[in-house]
Structure 1
């Protein structure tokens, strides 16, 4: 898996795996919006399937990312070429991790609750409003995770 640490394709100091993950992170809110659009046109089965696929692919990408970070030397190693203050970058990273973990938990609960409600016959139906609110919160988390992830990438590999 040496290819992971070759020069990336976005023209920054980032290795290949970081550039790949960055593209996936940047696309994630748009993919989530596309899945939400399916619910708006009442294509609920396709909405559920697409959300599940997006979730599973996201978890796989995070696993790939985590492997790359650890095998690549961790935060300190990636921080070496940056002109950003170490403490500032670390605080942004900690904030990003907190947002990402909370978002993941909300996303898991949203999917789990939706499956439970669909099985009970209340989604679509009486559980729809609660699911819509949970979905909006999940989307906010996905957006903030993407935003803060891009912020960390910029601090580490552009500045």
Structure 2
């Protein structure tokens, strides 16, 4: 387990666990887009399964990330090597947390709403338009989470 806290593979000051999480978060929008294409191709059951799998894996990754941050001594220890001001970094981190938590809640709403609509035989069907809007919001949130996460990563481990 100690190797997770050694320098990672992306050539920055980041620990290995942070590089692993970052690569997964970077890939997530592309994986979600692939799941969206399944729905566009009317492969609804595959779309549902992939979305649920990606959600579960994402929650596990967030847990792994939180564990790593705590084991590393917290946010303050991670920012020690950064030349960026503490206040600026904190504002960016708070912005990222707001976006990521909001995205998580929207994603939960989207999955839960889809499940209810499917039980009522309204997906695909009368609930499709609303589900598509919820999915678009979720996708935008995931992209913003990835971008703001990369911003935090760069501030912590590159600059």
TM-score bracket for this pair, using the shorter chain length: over 0.9
- Compute the displacement of 1:38 (Å): 0.5
1:16 is matched with which residue?
Answer: 16
Distance 1:135 1:152 in 2: 25
Distance 1:29 1:152 in 2: 18
Distance 2:117 2:6 in 1: 46
Matched ranges for 1:10-159 at <5 A: 10-159=10-159
Distance 2:90 2:28 in 1: 24
- Compute the displacement of 1:34 (Å): 0.4
1:3-41 deviation per Cα after TM superposition (whole angstroms, max 9, x unaligned): 210110100000000000000010011011000010100
Gaps of 5+ in 2: none
Distance 1:138 1:148 in 2: 15
Gaps of 5+ in 1: none
1:52-78 deviation per Cα after TM superposition (whole angstroms, max 9, x unaligned): 000000000000000000110111101
Describe the SS at the equivalent of 1:7.
Answer: coil
CA RMSD of aligned residues (A): 0.5
Distance 2:99 2:113 in 1: 21
Q: Which runs of 4+ in 1 moved over 3 A?
A: none
Distance 1:76 1:82 in 2: 10
